[in-house]
Amino acid sequence: MRIAVDAGHGSKTEGKRTPPMPVDIDFEHDGKIDVKKGESIREHTANTGVAFLLVKELVRCGIQTVKTGFNDANSYDDKDTPLSERQSVIRNNQCDYSVCIHFDASGDGSAFNSAEGVGIYIHDKYNNNSEALASTVLKHLIKGTKQKNRGVLKQSLAMCNCNKLGVKGAILVELAFMTNLREATELMASQVFWREAAREICMGICEFTGIKYVEETIMPKAINRNSSEEDIKWLQKNLNDVLEGDSFIPLAVDGIYGSRTRIAVLIYWEKRGWNQDGAKDGFHVGSGTIEALS
C-alpha cells in the first residue's frame, strides 16, 4: 500500500493565509511565538504540520508514503510545487491513493467571517473509489473536536483527478476555515489539532484499506527501580528480545527491577559498546537505551 501525502501550496503562495491574527500564535505551545499578533498564518505551514504528522502515522501502520509539496517538518523553505508536477510524482510512484491537506477560506481573505467546518473534496468525474474513501475519512475527522460537517463535495480539482494521478482514490481535505477566527486560532494554529487530524485521517485510511491502525506508543524518558510495573515489564520484554540466544536465560517479565534485570541491562550495554568505564550500575536506563530498545 502506497499513499501520496500532499501539503497544499508553498510557503510564499500569494493569499493562502489567515487575515491578520488578533493574538500571538504559538503552534507547539512551547513558549516560542511563531506568528506575531497582526501577522498572518500561512496555510502551507498548517498544511505541512498535518501532512508531516500524517506521514508518521501511516508509516507506523506499515504504509509506504510519497510526499509532495513538502519534504520535512520545516514548511518555510517549500516552494509552491506546480500541480502538474505533484500529479506526475504521484503517478510515477504508482501510489494507490492520494490525500491532499488544506485549510479552507471564504470571502476575499482580508477579514474573518462565519464560514466554518470540515469537508472533503473528490473529483466530479474521475473519482474511482474516492467517494467511499472520503466518507470513511470524514467519519473519523468529525470525531474529537466538534466541527460543522460540510460533507463530501465534488469539484474538478487537479489533485483529485484519479486519471491524472493514476490512483484508485484521491481526496482533498479542507480541515477548517482559516477565515474563521475561532477555527484559525484554535484549530489551524494548534499542533494538538494537527496531531488529531493526522491521526483521524490515518484511521480512516486504515479502515478503508483494511489495514490495522497501530496506536502510537509513548515511551518513558527513563526507567529505574521506582518506575511503573508496566514500564519495567516493557524493559524486561525488550531485553529478552534483543538478548535472545547467546545462552541468555530470559528474564521473568514481572515488573520488578531486580538484579537479573540490572545484569541484563549491563549485558545489553556491553553489546552496544556502552558504559565502557563501568560508571553506571545498570539500575537506571535513560532515553538512549529506551530508544535503542524500541
Q: Do 33 and 26 form a contact (C-beta atoms < 8 A)? A: yes
Q: Per CB under 5 A, which of residues 30..89 are in contact with Zn ion?
A: none
Which residue stretch of 1-9, 33-41, 74-82, 177-185 sits at the interface with Zn ion (rule: CB under 5 A)?
A: 1-9
Q: Is 8 in the site for Zn ion (CB under 5 A)?
A: yes
CA dihedral 202, 207, 210, 213 (to 10 degrees): 50
Q: Per CB under 5 A, which of residues 206..245 are in contact with Zn ion?
A: none
- Residue 102 Cβ, how far from Zn ion at the closest point, in Å? 4
Question: Cell numbers of 72, please?
Answer: 520535512
- Residue 8 Cβ, how far from Zn ion at the closest point, in Å? 4
Cα torsion 41, 43, 45, 51: sign: positive
Q: Is 102 in the site for Zn ion (CB under 5 A)?
A: yes
- Residue 87 Cβ, how far from Zn ion at the closest point, in Å? 16
Which residue stretch of 102-110, 155-163, 183-191, 262-270 sits at the interface with Zn ion (rule: CB under 5 A)?
A: 102-110
- Residue 50 Cβ, how far from Zn ion at the closest point, in Å? 12
Q: Which is nearer to Zn ion, 51 or 95 (CB)?
A: 51
Q: Which is nearer to Zn ion, 102 or 140 (CB)?
A: 102
First to last CA, the chain: 24
Farthest-apart Cα atoms in the chain, separation:
71
Q: Which is nearer to Zn ion, 17 or 238 (CB)?
A: 17
Which residue stretch of 5-13, 28-36, 49-57, 226-234 sits at the interface with Zn ion (rule: CB under 5 A)?
A: 5-13
Torsions phi, psi for 20 (to 5 deg): -55, 130
Q: Per CB under 5 A, which of residues 127..166 are in contact with Zn ion?
A: none
Q: How many residues at the interface with Zn ion, by CB under 5 A? A: 2
- Residue 200 Cβ, how far from Zn ion at the closest point, in Å? 19
* CA of residue 169 relative to chain centroid, distance: 20
Q: Which of 4, 3, 5 shows the shortest CA–CA distance to 211? A: 3
The residues, any chain, with a CB within 8 Å of residue 44's CB and separated by 6 or more, are 7, 8, 9, 10, 11, 13, 16, 69, 70, 75, 78, 80
- Residue 253 Cβ, how far from Zn ion at the closest point, in Å? 49
Q: Is 282 in the site for Zn ion (CB under 5 A)?
A: no
Q: Which residue is nearest to Zn ion (CB)?
A: 102
Q: What angle do CA 138, 140, 142 make, to 5 degrees?
A: 70
Question: Cell numbers of 55, please?
Answer: 506521514
- Residues forming contacts to Zn ion in the complex (CB under 5 A) are 8, 102
